[in-house]
Amino acid sequence: MYYHNYLEDAPSKDAYRMSYEPVSGLGTALISPWVIVNGASGATYQFMRGYGVSDPSVVLNFGTFKGNGVLDAQGPLVYPFTELPVLETFTVSETDDAVVYASKHHTLSLGAKGYEWIDADGRIELHGSLLGQPCTFWIPQQQGMDYPMLSRSHLGWVTGVIDGDPVEGLWMHDQMYSTPGLPFLESGFLRYVHNYWMNWLIEYEDGSFEGGHAWRGKPGTDFAAAHHYIDGRSIARSDARISAEFTDRGSIHTVRLQLGDDVSVEFEQHGSFDWPIHTYGTVKSISRDKKVKRSWNYTEHFPLNWQLVEDYLHAAARLYGKFPSFQGIVRDGVIRNGKLVFGK
């Protein structure tokens, strides 16, 4: 697969608009923010939203999860979907320095001066700032890829409060582009490209930070784009190598990341959120002569046949107006040879 991975300058407000064209002839297919944070209570939280996943007028709540240290099962929701719906229509407005995405239950402000995310009717309040530069990969239309795909990723530091619990950790959001009017799920990225992804952030005892994100594409693609943030600067790379070890059910319990010959880091996974896709962890070892103070890791694994699940979920949502139970679909499943084997 042919692709290009590169850095961009710090974005202006224009870059956060849905009308923004990073390359002539491309339109917004997805905007997706998420965080992985630790609370003063010791809890680990993760939540994510997606604008335009299957419908450009709808925002998807992927779930607000709280880690419970279990790898082989779905993690508990902080707020049930009866309180924080899976699907909502959203509006877009602007302030002097930010673009604001909002629904009944949340407000997300993306701007050149930082990020603000208020969710769950005010029970979540987060403030983020960019670390380094945005990192972008560009996959032109080619054999094996029906449409072009461009993704600009923003790594950040976030502080805030969740249900009264002060939190700190890793902020990230992607803005993805493809053929104008094409929803993300129809772009082919999950079907033809994506297999593994992970992001990470380390705070060392000396106050410095290191982190970024990395991809491992489907077999045969050689897709290995990465962003490496170190010593206050960003590096765009295409030499990431990700490997993993699994439980008997197929959950990831160990992730290893190699970036060229520069850094090798291993992450122990402590639990799952929306099994089997996302796990969370911390650094177990790294090839640095520095002492780690805190660390965050969020790993994403889409089984090779995951498109079957996506197709079913979104076909049912279009037919019935709501998503079927994701947990019900995967409850008795296992991962074998990289594929999800469905239960009874």
Looking at residue 178, what is its pLDDT?
Answer: 97
The share of the chain scoring above pLDDT 90, in percent, equals 86
Distance CA 215, CA 196 (A): 6
Taking only the tens place, the pLDDT of each residue in 28-54 is 999 999 999 999 999 999 999 999 988
Provide long-range contacts, Cβ within 8 A and 24+ apart, for 340-343. 340/276, 340/303, 340/305, 340/306, 340/308, 340/309
Query: Residue for token digits 């224009």?
Result: 14
Taking only the tens place, the pLDDT of each residue in 153-173 is 999 999 999 999 999 999 999
Q: How large is the average pLDDT for residues 78-95?
A: 95
Looking at residue 307, what is its pLDDT?
Answer: 82
Hey, what are 164's tokens? Answer: 């009264």
Q: How large is the average pLDDT for residues 276-283?
A: 96
Distance CA 156, CA 83 (A): 28
311 or 199, greater pLDDT: 199
Neighbouring residues of 207: CB distance < 8 A, sequence distance ≥ 6: none
Least-confidence region, from 51-55, 273-277, 326-330 = 326-330
Task: State the number of CA atoms in the 13 A half-sphere of 161 facing the CB.
Answer: 6
First to last CA, the chain: 37
Looking at residue 344, what is its pLDDT?
Answer: 56
8 A C-beta contact, residue 246 and residue 267: no
Looking at residue 310, what is its pLDDT?
Answer: 78
239 or 185, greater pLDDT: 239
Best CA proximity match to 214, nearest among 153, 273, 171: 153
Hey, what are 112's tokens? Answer: 């050149």
Position 199 pLDDT exceeds 80: yes
User: Band of the pLDDT at 6, cuts 50, 70, 90?
Assistant: very high
Q: What is the mean pLDDT of the chain?
A: 94
What is the per-residue burial (b if ≥16 Cβ within 10 Å, else e) of 269-308? bbbbbbbbbbbbbbbbebeeeeebeebbbbbbbbbeebee
8 A C-beta contact, residue 88 and residue 61: yes
HEC string of 129-178 equals EECCCCEEEEECCECCECCCEEEEEEEEEEEEEECCEEEEEEEEEEEEEE
Hey, what are 333's tokens? Answer: 């499943």
Looking at residue 58, what is its pLDDT?
Answer: 93
Q: Which domain holds residue 336?
A: 4-341
Hey, what are 13's tokens? Answer: 């407000």
User: For the chain, what's the residue count?
Assistant: 344
8 A C-beta contact, residue 174 and residue 184: no
Q: How large is the average pLDDT for residues 240-252?
A: 97
Least-confidence region, from 188-202, 277-291, 292-306, 313-327 = 313-327
Q: How large is the average pLDDT for residues 76-87?
A: 94
State the pTM of this model.
Answer: 0.94
Domains identified in the chain, total number: 1
Looking at residue 306, what is its pLDDT?
Answer: 87
Locate all alpha helices (DSSP H) within the chain, ordered by sequence: 307-320, 326-330
Looking at residue 10, what is its pLDDT?
Answer: 86
Taking only the tens place, the pLDDT of each residue in 200-211 is 999 999 999 999
Distance CA 268, CA 254 (A): 5
Looking at residue 309, what is its pLDDT?
Answer: 82
The share of the chain scoring above pLDDT 70, in percent, equals 100
